[in-house]
Amino acid sequence: MEKTLVKSQALFERARRVIPGGVNSPVRAFKSVGGTPPFITRGAGAHITDADGNEYIDYVLSWGPLILGHAHKEVVAAAVEAIAGGSSFGAPTEREVVLAETILSFFPGMEMIRLVSSGTEAAMTAVRLARGYTRRDKIVKFAGCYHGHSDCLLAEAGSGIATLGIPATPGVTQATAADTLTVEFNDIAALDALLDQWGDTIAAVIVEPVPGNMGVVPPADGFLPRLISAARSRGALVIFDEVMSGFRAALGGAQTLWGLDPDITLLGKVIGGGFPLAAIAGKRHIMEHLAPSGPVYQAGTLSGNPAAVAAGIATLTVLSGPGVFDTIAKKTDVLRRGLIDAADSAGIRLRGNAVGTMMSFFFSDGPVDNFAAAKATKSDLFVRWFHEMLGRGIYMAPSPFEALFLSAAHSGRDIRDTVAAARDAFARL
């Protein structure tokens, strides 16, 4: 089953002449699954349309941010109203205070927050802040966790790095790479050994508490609390990268879901309602090390952009309405069970990992609890499944190492249609 992608093909050829790989972020190019990426012309609710007029049910949702669906009325109205009043000032505005207060109200452990424009920027700032605060250099990260593309966080990163099978990135100096230590997720013994070895040189341990960039891989029982005490006992800070899991694993992220208390939290994606907005939040005594209250420098021309901030406030306001989040989480579970049943009927072993409103599927007999296990799953089957689904109008991320996302806009019918498409697709694998 193939969609006609004549116009997308022509656009992709044009794009490749002027944009490296034809895209402005690598995974969009479909390199690991092959074929032409549909060029999207519009989105409404849970649906997107491509340049050839094909319609899809969208489970990418701009890689997570659009938890209310595309072009949600209140989000659009808020952004338009903001822009009409001036699109950027580079001066403080009341809206920024409102968004800061709103976000902090969901995260009882966080006391202060700084708005930035991308998750990459938030993670890069967190590393600098942790180093400035502890006066130590080394960072510990987990294999398969993605924290954006700043130099020191690219080692064994998930997401596009995993999708493209890039082992290390040219352009990152050896000195920088040497300051990043990597350990397997869910392996507390390995983390302990590493911390013992490097002890008082480690500034921070950074983790996606619910990794979503090697596919969704939930933490084992007790792993995160033990990670926190292991880091603290050596004087290292704990950075939770909740750019994806914030307002996705639960409204207050994984930390609220499980009552955990990191020192620094990174947010992004949902908090910008589809606009460039992210944040670094944390304990007051740490955050006050950021300029201008402290010596650790960080800045941004478009930080706290009015349209992004307005869209973020509107998104969080609607999302925190009674039952809104829980309904999306329930739909996520219904879809997860539907797809696993559909695979079962075709004699295919599919693992569905989900937390809250994020999930992913692995073609695997056993559980997938770390990056090594994720990489060992049958990605050739995933590629075929991906194309069978795309041909049937189901738009998923073109990689087994990316999550699927649900929104308030996905209807019962969308989910039934998706399960029906999956039944047909699995029968042909």
What CA–CA distance (Å, rounded) separates 315 from 321? Answer: 10
Q: Give the binding range for ligand PLP (CB under 6 A) out of 13-21, 88-96, 116-124, 308-316.
A: 116-124
Strand pairing report for 202-207 and 264-267: unpaired
DSSP letter at 311 equals H
Is the separation of the CB atoms in 25 and 50 below 8 Å?
no
Q: Is residue 410 close enough to count as binding ligand PLP by CB under 6 A?
A: no
Place of tokens 């701009």: 62
The first and second tokens of residue 89, run together, are 């000032």
Taking the least distance from each CB to ligand PLP, the nearer of 268 and 398 is 268
Q: Is residue 8 close enough to count as binding ligand PLP by CB under 6 A?
A: no
Taking the least distance from each CB to ligand PLP, the nearer of 107 and 426 is 107
How many residues appear in the chain? 429
Instruction: Pick out residues in 131-190 that bind ligand PLP (CB under 6 A).
Output: 146-148
Q: Does the annotation mark 269 as catalytic?
A: yes
For residue 404, give the 3-state DSSP assignment: strand
Closest residue to ligand PLP using C-beta atoms: 119
Q: Which of 36, 54, 93, 120 binds ligand PLP (CB under 6 A)?
A: 120
CB atoms < 10 A from the CB of 420, how many?
Answer: 14
Taking the least distance from each CB to ligand PLP, the nearer of 279 and 408 is 279
CB atoms < 10 A from the CB of 137, how many?
Answer: 14
Q: Which of 123, 157, 162, 314 binds ligand PLP (CB under 6 A)?
A: 123
Q: Give the binding range for ligand PLP (CB under 6 A) out of 44-52, 130-138, 205-213, 364-372.
A: 205-213
Largest CA distance in the chain: 61
Instruction: Using alpha carbons, list the distances in angstroms from residue 57 to 3, 212, 256, 396, 415.
Output: 14, 21, 30, 9, 9
Taking the least distance from each CB to ligand PLP, the nearer of 139 and 425 is 139
The one catalytic residue among 50, 58, 179, 241? 241
Taking the least distance from each CB to ligand PLP, the nearer of 79 and 425 is 79
Is the separation of the CB atoms in 72 and 409 below 8 Å?
yes
Q: Is residue 213 close enough to count as binding ligand PLP by CB under 6 A?
A: yes
Q: Is residue 47 close enough to count as binding ligand PLP by CB under 6 A?
A: no
Interacting residues toward ligand PLP by CB under 6 A: 118-120, 123, 146-148, 208, 212-213, 241, 243-244, 268, 278
Which sequence positions are flagged as catalytic? 146, 241, 269
